[in-house]
Amino acid sequence: MPRNNLRELTLEIIQENELPKKRIMEEIRNKSGRSVSDKTLNEVLMNLLKEGEIYITGYDFDVYKGMKRIQSIKAEGIIFGPIKTNPLEIGILINQLESDNPLEVKEYSNKLKIIFRGKIDELNSNVNNGIEIKNINLLFNKLIYYINNQPKDQKKVLINKLAWSLSDEKGSADLLKNLINYVNSHE
C-alpha cells in the first residue's frame, strides 16, 4: 500500500476514535484488505506526530494480557488520538474543564495543553511574533484560572477567544498572543 494512502487511512481511523497502535493495525488490515509492516506503520505514525496531526493520549495495558511484572514498553499499547483544531471542538474541550470528575478534567486539560504547546511553538517559530515563555503549563493554567474567575458573559467571550486562538484558523496565533498579553496585563 502506498504510504500516502496509508497515511490518509491511518488519519481516518484515528479521527473516528482514540486507539492503541495494535487496534490501528487491525483496522488498517480490515479496511484495506492488505497487511502493512510494523515499521511502515511506525513511520506513518511518527510523521503524523511530528506534523501535529495526532498525539499520544495514553497507554493500553491490556497488551500485557494479565502479566504481573511489566519490564518493557510495547509500542502496540500506545494510544493515539487526533489533534482537535476546530474552534468548536476546542471550545467543547475548554468547557469540559468544568466537569465534576477530576480524571476527566485532567484528561481534557492535558489535551488542551498539547494544543496550547503546539500553538506557542507556532508563535515562536515566527521571529516577529515570538513571545518569551518560561513555563508553558503555568501560563496555560493562568489563562484558564483568569477565564474561570470572570463574570459569566466575559467568561463566555474569553472561552470563545481562547478556542479560536488555539484553532488552525487564520489569525489565531496573533489572537493567542493578544490574549496572553491581556491576561498578563491583569495580574
Q: Please name every residue paired with 173 in a beta bridge, in sequence order, or none if there are none.
A: none
State whether 145 and 94 are in the same domain: yes
Percent of the chain's residues with pLDDT above 90: 44
**What is the band of 45 on the pLDDT scale with cuts at 50, 70, 90?**
very high
Contacts 24+ apart (CB under 8 A), 39-45: 40/3, 40/6, 41/6, 41/10, 42/75, 43/3, 44/3, 44/6, 44/7, 44/10, 45/10, 45/21, 45/80
Per DSSP, the residues of 35-46 read ---HHHHHHHHH
pLDDT of residue 4: 65
pTM for the whole structure:
0.72
Higher local confidence (pLDDT), 158 or 52: 158
**Count of domains in the chain?**
2
Q: Is the pLDDT of residue 181 over 80?
A: yes
Mean pLDDT throughout 77-91? Answer: 89
What is the CATH classification number for the domain harbouring 49? 1.10.10
State the average pLDDT for the chain.
Answer: 88
How much is the average pLDDT of 134-154?
Answer: 91
Could you list the beta-strand ranges (E) of 16-115: 19-20, 54-59, 78-82
Q: Which of 29, 57, 82 is the last residue of a domain?
A: 82
Q: Assess whether 144 and 98 both reside in one domain.
A: yes
Q: What range defines the domain where residue 122 resides?
A: 87-185
Q: With bands split at pLDDT 50, 70 and 90, how would you rate the model's confidence at 70?
A: confident
Q: Check whether 32 has a pLDDT greater than 80.
A: yes
State the burial class of residue 5 (Cβ atoms within 10 Å of its Cβ: 0-12, 13-18, 19+): exposed
